[in-house]
Amino acid sequence: MTVLDADQLGRFAAALWEPDDLVELRPLPVGSGRRRWLPAREVPALYSALREENNHGANLYAGVLPRTEVGGGSAEHTDGGRVVWIDCDHMPADAALARVQAAAVPPPVMAVDSGHGAHVYWRLGELLPREAATMSGVSALSFLKLTLAPALIKALPINWFPMAAA
């Protein structure tokens, strides 16, 4: 797994959120670091603190869907989504990207090696309403088939689908 540098963290934040979006950052397991809610524009400034938490065993998680309030971490605390993403367990990012390219779908804005697989992201043209952004896996799969292409579904071993509240 490649470790992000401060510049890459800034590009990650810019790809996923608008500057004023409220972002939830939390370490897993619980108690292994500090849980935070902050505007997306402030995420890159936390690089050193997040890196230190990671060095001490925290698996750092960023909620992809913007939050509506500080302290909110579930579906009812999301404000829709600006990205569609897939989580490809046990697949490196370069392999996931190769399959995406072979599926002839629009290019993603980003692919990240999570350490447990790849996360591949597509930016939407507008904010997707919360009701659509927090679909069940089955509904999200149908949405993905309609918006990207059935070929992508066949090309990737997708285990967790876009827009699940997280």
Per-residue pLDDT at 149 exceeds 80: no
Instruction: Kindly state the helix (H) or strand (E) to which residue 61 belongs, with its residue range.
Output: strand 59-62
Half-sphere exposure in the Cβ direction for 159 (13 Å, CA): 10
pLDDT of residue 112: 84
pTM recorded for the entire structure: 0.74
Confidence of residue 140 (pLDDT cuts 50, 70, 90): very low
pLDDT, tens only, 27-77? 877 777 788 999 999 999 999 988 888 888 888 888 888 899 998 877 778
CA angle 65/12/31 to nearest 5° reads: 65
Give mean pLDDT, residues 120-144.
62
pLDDT of residue 159: 37
Domain range list for the chain: 6-76, 80-155
For the chain, the average pLDDT equals 75
Give mean pLDDT, residues 10-17.
90
Confidence of residue 133 (pLDDT cuts 50, 70, 90): low
Looking at 5-46, list the stretches that DSSP marks H as alpha helix, in order from N- to C-terminal side: 6-16
Q: How would CATH label the architecture of 6-76?
A: 2-Layer Sandwich (3.30)
